[in-house]
Structure 1
Amino acid sequence: MEPTRVEFAGHNGLKLAADSYGTPGNQPVLLAHGGGQTRHAWGGAAKTLAAQGWHAISVDLRGHGDSEWCPDANYSIDAYAEDLRKIAATFDRKPAAVGASLGGSSSLIAEGEHPENVFAALVLVDITPKVEEEGVQKIRGFMHANMEEGFGSLEEAADAIAKYLPHRPRPKSLEGLKKNLRLRENGRYYWHWDPKFSTGPSRPRDA
């Protein structure tokens, strides 16, 4: 099942890219990825949901994937939450939402700080009441490590991920990794998100 590419207008009109799986008009479920990821992180789950009769929409959060980079580097949790509220309002009925890490925090804020229900249901993945500062610094260190120089090849990027996540089996094919990287004119690969996402004035509370 191949998705249909769609686009939404987020907070202040920022263009947000998304993939639509299944039949529009079915009960929608909005899938929001974690910081530093892209909509493709939910590709497998979206296909499964669509096969079960849901209309699954996997979105690139602002500054990630094919969504626009924010001109003023507003990557605050409130901006992400407002983006999700804007997307949810485009459907005829309230969507369910599934959010991981940053996507989960944003979904929770979108729902909890709005006077009326935004979502029909909310599923949080990799969300805790508190985070360990050591873990946060490890994530930021990984995100910053190759931000400016990028990677000379997909294999080099895969090596960096394997070092960061030694417990995760290394994929046999690196084709999926391309979806999380941008190939620039200089022939080097860079992460598929705005560098100001992690260094700008409105950095999210956690990734």
Structure 2
Amino acid sequence: MQQPQSCFFQSHGLRLHYWDWGNAEATPLLLIHGGKDHGRSWDHLARALQSHFHVIAPDLRGHGDSDWARGGSYALPEYVYDLTRLPALADAPPAAVIGHSMGGMIAMLYAGTFPDRVDRLVVLDGVTVRPDATMAPVHERMTKWLGQLDRLEGRQPRRYPTIDDAAAQMRAHNKRLGHDLSLHLAGHGTRRNDDGSYSWKFDPYQRVTAPHRLAPSEYAELWGRIACPTLLLFAGESFIDPARAAEASRYFQNARAEIVTEAGHWLQHDRPDEVLRLISEFVELPSGC
């Protein structure tokens, strides 16, 4: 079974990591994971598509084997900047981009900022902002942010005796997650502590809500700049209301929305074959691939 190559690059003073699945002469396919996740979360999709694309799966700053940001700096535009530093995208043709959850938001910001750099865009349960929403007053956003930082100060990471214990915690949050897949995800998503226990690799500060985030209307402005065909996939049993979120397709130049039934927020794990089928059809792969 093919394994990806582990690679590093520099961005914003950070040493960041990505997984390169080879086939460097093909069109780039950028896979962007969500919060508290890592690049190896995409293995099923990457293996299925690597013969057609140059598949690149970064560990976002503060995740996987990438550095944690100094001062807990994790605003979405900073993730976009990191993508511009990826060596695999330099001097390459326009990429296909797939993002899940927070990674979907990052993918849309990237495509809206650089519409000529993206050939196809797929967002998995990632429309987490309503463009018609109202931002809280700035003093409330500042107070919320300061409070989140205070609560995280000195927080000790949770420790698990074994990787299987960490995997069991994942299955407790997603009843559809199988044993083998949970072990794979936990194996790449934890690091071993000095006492032999395991803790998650992601930086707890990445969950803090930056007070200087974009306004909802600014997201819509960027979405309107996305020129490539766009597929918005929503999970039928997500915390995101799929029917309401699908209305976001009207902000794009060329987008359609589909709801994947019998799947929660992690739809690529809950129904991997159906998600692969929809993506393969969208990027116009030959049938049976």
TM-score of the alignment, normalized to the shorter chain, above 0.5: yes
Root-mean-square deviation (CA), in Å? 2.9
User: Larger deviation: 192-201 or 28-37?
Assistant: 192-201
* Structure 2 partner of 1:150: 159
Distance in 2 separating the partners of 1:30 and 1:110: 11
1:75–1:203 Cα contact (<8 Å) kept: no
Tell me: CA distance 1:25–1:79, structure 2 relative to 1, closer, same or farther (3 Å).
same
How high is the sequence identity, in percent, across the aligned residues? 26
Structure 1 alignment gaps of length 5 or more: 132-143
Residue 186, structure 1, aligned to residue 195, structure 2: yes
User: Larger deviation: 22-31 or 87-96?
Assistant: 87-96
Give the residue type in structure 2 aligned to 1:82.
Y
C-alpha displacement of 1:176:
4.6
Residue 75, structure 1, aligned to residue 74, structure 2: yes
Tell me: CA distance 1:70–1:54, structure 2 relative to 1, closer, same or farther (3 Å).
same
* Structure 1 partner of 2:5: 4
Tell me: CA distance 1:164–1:82, structure 2 relative to 1, closer, same or farther (3 Å).
same
Give the residue type in structure 2 aligned to 1:83.
D
Distance in 1 separating the partners of 2:74 and 2:173: 24
1:101–1:126 Cα contact (<8 Å) kept: yes
Size of the alignment, in residue pairs? 190
Q: Which has the higher contact order (CA 8 A, sep 6+)?
A: 1
2:32–2:58 Cα contact (<8 Å) kept: yes
* Structure 2 partner of 1:27: 27
Superposition map of 1:155-166 within 5 A: 155-166=164-175
Distance in 2 separating the partners of 1:156 and 1:15: 29
Structure 2 alignment gaps of length 5 or more: 131-151, 215-264, 266-289
Higher alpha-carbon Rg:
2
| TM-score between both structures, scaled by the size of structure 2 | 0.58
* Structure 2 partner of 1:41: 41
Tell me: CA distance 1:200–1:68, structure 2 relative to 1, closer, same or farther (3 Å).
farther
C-alpha displacement of 1:9:
2.9
1:73–1:201 Cα contact (<8 Å) kept: no
